[in-house]
Structure 1
Amino acid sequence: MMASFDEATDGFYHWLVSSARIEISPKIFVGDLRSVNQGRCVLASQDIGSDEVLFEIPRSSVLNVATSQLVRDFPQLKDVFWQELGHWEGLILCMVYEIKVMGQQSFWWNYLQVLPKSQDLNTLVYWSADQLAALEPSLVVGRLGADESQEMYRQILKYIQNFGPEFQSKIGQLTFEEFVHVASVIMSYSFDVDLKGEDDEDDEDEDEGEEEEGESNVAHDKYMKSMVPLADTLNADTKQFNAHLVYDKESLKMVSVKPIKMGQQVYNFYGEHPNAEILRRYGYVEWDGSQFDFGELPLSCITQVLQREAPEEFFQICLQLLQNDETILEHLDQEQIVLESYDCFIDGQVIPECLLLLQVLTVILQIPNVGENLERELQRVVKKCLQLVESGRLTIKCLKLFEHCIDERLRQYPNHSFREVTPIHQYVHDVDVQRGIMAQRVLQSEVESLQNCYLSLGEKFQVIDDVKLMDNILKKRVAPAQKTKNESKRKRTH
């Protein structure tokens, strides 16, 4: 029989103190904020000052490939988990083993009972096609990684088979639904825990040069993807966070980073993510917007606007040269400025790759008879425009092009994206309604970011007349030809 919410919380808290040996400050407690769609949380029972340890977790009570019963039962697999398996594959298999094989005998059983079930998760992998459609035109829908999930699932099934018949018989059949659930919980709740205190410095020279490019595992990366009981009970907020996790040699400590008043929630920080990414990874949104919100300007929007000025084929050639020409790449320190999309942040900042691309294309359009000299002209223009953008300057036409591109992008959003969303202040039983409101908040975050960049770019850069820049570029372009003409005259007069 499944325990009730309160029973599961009580069992979890008892396990934290008695079995996991986690030292918890009397100034905090595990609260219930389901009434406002925030589930379990950590609240302050007393005023808390800065730099106070809220709880301390022994590394032995953190669930990962070093502590799981799987590696204890199959010690011959330890090196495989440490040196061969990726972080995700390793932790997924360990959690599956604790849930399916160990069950109630698992050391982490009471902890596993408070992790969300599939029906409680709002991460985008659980959204229906109709629910995902409410997020259009946000590009976050294209980052669900469905193909990658299928490939990881197939890889894990191969590992199970390769680990031998005894391992297979214990694990049994791992369905795709079980895999997705565990992977989703890991995405929402795991931490990357540094291997502090590990005596591996002497091995660095031996391993150097032997690791394959792109290799990612515990031995290579010196951290373990881990489930950290109680630390993952904290909700997170990019603006209100007041605590963070500190890694010591023998333990992990949650430490306050600012004063917390009695009754206030203790918030962690999950990273510099916009609302769209918070929803994809963790299944919630920040109703007042993330501090790191941004909208995305797709390359397709830029090319669509530019096609009003010149044929599409011309710009496709330009983009190919910008991506592949060695001289251009040398100017750019081998960095690409042709990207699938460009981030436009809530504070009005635009990534420099976007502005440099627009400035280059603006200039190349103004060069007469570029024709067969396009490659050479682009090389010169990139160098000149790079100097311009790095000095904090843009031309009037570049700024206008940016504004037209933002206009084009904003027209793709539905009308409700431009209206303020009413936050969900009480539990919503209808999943479609709940997810629809969250989708609207994501779109509002993106629209606000794009609008802020539209309004403030001209204030963040010194805007100069195109004539001044073009005179400089065309002057250098014409000079060699003029010299050749004068030399010809001299030859004819002799």
Structure 2
Amino acid sequence: MATEAKRQKVDDGSESLQDFLQWCDRVGLVLSSKVYVSKEGTAADYGMLAKDSIEEGEVLFTIPRSALLHQGTTKVSSLLEKEKLSLESSSGWVPLLLALLYEYTPSQSHWKPYLSLWSDFKALDHPMFWSKEERVKLLRGTGIPEAVDTDLSNIQREYKDVVLPFMIRHPDLWNPNTHTLDLYTQLVAFVMAYSFQEPQDEEDDEEDEEDEEEKAPNPPMMVPMADMLNHVSNHNANLEFTPESLKMVCVRHIHKGEEVFNTYGQMANCQLLHMYGFTEPYQSNSNDTADIPVINLYKAATQGVQSDSDRRLIEERWELLCQMTQDKGAFVFSKQGCLTDSELHTALKVFCMSEEEFSEFKDNEGWEDDDDEDDERISQALSSEGLLELKPSWKQLIHEAARLTLRSYGDGEEEEKVVDSDRVLMEDRAAFKGLSCRQRRALQVRFGQKMILNRLMELTKL
């Protein structure tokens, strides 16, 4: 099955592409003679292909920092800097989004040849643009509907409380009738799908490691040409940052005619669909994961509890775990085992302690003196191989929590039916081909998660 396109760009692209490539020349973006941008033979409407064989370490293109679009390179940069305190928000994206609102609409913008590649944003197909009913029907249990509801609520609040008052104060630069909430939402999706974030400087991190407050991440920026590349987990190129420029560098041999793929990091299909509007085919994404909500481990622990005293003890353990885990709402599993192993290890230990052990644990406020269970040992114990050797009581809790999570994908059906309903669609080529793009992407997310949970149940079966 072919890799699905990362995203769709323009429908009629030849003229827009030529304008963009000429603009790249003018701004000093240097493209290797060994690659070219094309609509033919690529995973997406546009992509980058190799004209000749390319060796590891070769630079595919170089982008001067002056050709990056962000709040510091827009015509309204001085105003955005002057009033940056009034533009603070939970997302940290408002200055960039205001810059994009300003640069996207005028015909004479310096950035027009770049932004014209997305002339109407109709190709953006993040779940935030699906109907609520469609999200619930296709993505139930995946965590995406809840994440999208939060996104939309935050976008609306940010626009109403921060962006709109700022635009009203500067009617010569922004017009609420043009720069609407709908356009703002589309630009949020654009930034989610196409922007890049510069990694924190490791030396700065070392200097600040004693600071109590966590350093804020670098703001996102738009990187022309780099965003033409599609993503796969098994990528062959990577974006490198230097003080003067950004460089796309080949990280393994690329054959003539092969597509050049970048990576957005270790992204599960649910993250790819939520943030970028696409998925990798089932089994192609080596980074796929499934979440087990922490509450499901609690529900599993309460099963079979008869006496009031036992129930009170479980409640007390749950309250302590909630204090310890704080915002960590789920345990994350990959095909290799639990990725949040220390959190799961603590939860299993607390739920399965004797009453005396729990009392001592509380007295120590969750701290333990023994060093027997170091990080490496915990990681091994909760790997796919290690799960087979867990204590029966621990295996039972994980098994039941996975079962409860699997059931959340369906409408009251048994977990076997929940898995089999999607398995039929995945294995029937004609049925799969008959699905819409949204249905296929949702299926890739659901089935990948279900298979991880199903295997987890098999590994923890008593």
Tell me the TM-score range normalised by the shorter chain.
0.7 to 0.9
> C-alpha distance in 1, partners of 2:256/2:335?
32
Instruction: Tell me if 1:45 matches 2:51.
Output: yes
Q: Is the 8 A contact 1:246 1:253 kept in 2?
A: yes
Where 1:421 maps in the other structure, the secondary structure is helix
> C-alpha distance in 2, partners of 1:437/1:337?
35
Post-superposition offset of 1:444: 1.2
> C-alpha distance in 2, partners of 1:455/1:26?
52
Instruction: Tell me if 1:271 matches 2:297.
Output: no
Query: What RMSD in Å do the two structures reach over aligned CA positions?
Result: 3.6
Q: Is the 8 A contact 1:346 1:450 kept in 2?
A: no
Post-superposition offset of 1:140: 2.2
Instruction: Tell me if 1:177 matches 2:182.
Output: yes
Q: Is the 8 A contact 2:398 2:460 kept in 1?
A: no
How big is each residue's C-alpha offset from its partner over 1:244-265, in whole Å with a ceiling of 9 and x where there is no partner?
A: 1111222111110111001111
Q: Which moved more, 1:265-274 or 1:7-16?
A: 7-16
Where 2:107 maps in the other structure, the secondary structure is helix
Instruction: Tell me if 1:109 matches 2:143.
Output: no
Post-superposition offset of 1:118: 3.2
Post-superposition offset of 1:359: 2.8
**Equivalent of residue 347 in structure 1, options 336, 345, 353:** 336
Instruction: Tell me if 1:30 matches 2:37.
Output: yes
1:167-206 equivalence runs, <5 A: 167-168=173-174, 173-193=178-198
Q: What residue number does 1:20 align with?
A: 27
> C-alpha distance in 2, partners of 1:231/1:341?
33
Instruction: Tell me if 1:293 matches 2:288.
Output: yes
Post-superposition offset of 1:193: 3.3
Instruction: Tell me if 1:244 matches 2:254.
Output: no
Post-superposition offset of 1:21: 1.9
Post-superposition offset of 1:436: 0.8
**Equivalent of residue 351 in structure 2, options 358, 361, 371:** 361
Unaligned 5+ runs, structure 2:
1-9, 382-389, 410-417
Counterpart residue identity of residue 264, structure 2: Y
Instruction: Tell me if 1:4 matches 2:9.
Output: no
Counterpart residue identity of residue 183, structure 1: V
Are the structure 2 counterparts of residues 194 and 377 from structure 1 closer, same or farther at C-alpha, using a change threshold of 3 Å? Answer: closer
Q: What residue number does 2:3 align with?
A: none
Counterpart residue identity of residue 181, structure 2: F
Question: So what's the TM-score if we normalise by structure 2?
Answer: 0.79
Q: What residue number does 1:306 align with?
A: 301
Q: What residue number does 1:453 align with?
A: 456
1:47-446 equivalence runs, <5 A: 47-71=53-77, 75-81=78-84, 85=88, 87-100=92-105, 103-115=106-118, 117-133=120-136, 134-144=138-148, 145-154=151-160, 155-162=162-169, 164-168=170-174, 173-193=178-198, 216=216, 223-239=218-234, 241-287=235-281, 288-310=283-305, 313-324=312-323, 336=325, 339-352=328-341, 353-364=343-354, 367=355, 375-376=359-360, 378-379=362-363, 383=368, 387=372, 391-392=377-378, 394-413=390-409, 414=418, 415-419=420-424, 421=426, 433-446=436-449
Are the structure 2 counterparts of residues 137 and 14 from structure 1 closer, same or farther at C-alpha, using a change threshold of 3 Å? Answer: same
Counterpart residue identity of residue 59, structure 2: V
> C-alpha distance in 2, partners of 1:417/1:356?
34
> C-alpha distance in 2, partners of 1:38/1:423?
25
How big is each residue's C-alpha offset from its partner over 1:30-77, in whole Å with a ceiling of 9 and x where there is no partner?
A: 1115x8862211111111000001011111111111111222xxx344
Sequence identity, in percent?
Answer: 23
Higher-Rg structure is: 1
Question: So what's the TM-score if we normalise by structure 1?
Answer: 0.74
> C-alpha distance in 1, partners of 2:85/2:197?
14
Post-superposition offset of 1:192: 1.5
Are the structure 2 counterparts of residues 119 and 77 from structure 1 closer, same or farther at C-alpha, using a change threshold of 3 Å? Answer: closer
Are the structure 2 counterparts of residues 81 and 259 from structure 1 closer, same or farther at C-alpha, using a change threshold of 3 Å? Answer: farther
Post-superposition offset of 1:320: 1.1
Are the structure 2 counterparts of residues 263 and 234 from structure 1 closer, same or farther at C-alpha, using a change threshold of 3 Å? Answer: same
Q: Is the 8 A contact 2:272 2:279 kept in 1?
A: yes
Are the structure 2 counterparts of residues 322 and 375 from structure 1 closer, same or farther at C-alpha, using a change threshold of 3 Å? Answer: farther
Post-superposition offset of 1:399: 1.5
Post-superposition offset of 1:214: 7.3
Are the structure 2 counterparts of residues 270 and 424 from structure 1 closer, same or farther at C-alpha, using a change threshold of 3 Å? Answer: farther
Are the structure 2 counterparts of residues 3 and 124 from structure 1 closer, same or farther at C-alpha, using a change threshold of 3 Å? Answer: closer
Where 1:68 maps in the other structure, the secondary structure is coil
Are the structure 2 counterparts of residues 269 and 78 from structure 1 closer, same or farther at C-alpha, using a change threshold of 3 Å? Answer: same
Post-superposition offset of 1:355: 3.0
> C-alpha distance in 2, partners of 1:267/1:121?
20
Post-superposition offset of 1:423: 11
How big is each residue's C-alpha offset from its partner over 1:169-218, in whole Å with a ceiling of 9 and x where there is no partner?
A: 6x75421111001111011000113698xxxx9xx99xx99xx96785xx
Q: Is the 8 A contact 2:58 2:250 kept in 1?
A: yes
Q: Is the 8 A contact 1:115 1:185 kept in 2?
A: no
Post-superposition offset of 1:402: 1.3
How big is each residue's C-alpha offset from its partner over 1:297-319, in whole Å with a ceiling of 9 and x where there is no partner?
A: 11232232222232655433221
How big is each residue's C-alpha offset from its partner over 1:13-39, in whole Å with a ceiling of 9 and x where there is no partner?
A: 22222x222111111111115x88622
Counterpart residue identity of residue 174, structure 1: H
Q: Is the 8 A contact 1:349 1:457 kept in 2?
A: no
Q: Is the 8 A contact 1:356 1:389 kept in 2?
A: no
Counterpart residue identity of residue 114, structure 1: L
> C-alpha distance in 2, partners of 1:443/1:385?
40
Are the structure 2 counterparts of residues 108 and 339 from structure 1 closer, same or farther at C-alpha, using a change threshold of 3 Å? Answer: closer
Q: Is the 8 A contact 2:236 2:251 kept in 1?
A: yes
Are the structure 2 counterparts of residues 457 and 127 from structure 1 closer, same or farther at C-alpha, using a change threshold of 3 Å? Answer: same
Q: Is the 8 A contact 2:87 2:163 kept in 1?
A: no
Q: Which moved more, 1:123-132 or 1:153-162?
A: 153-162
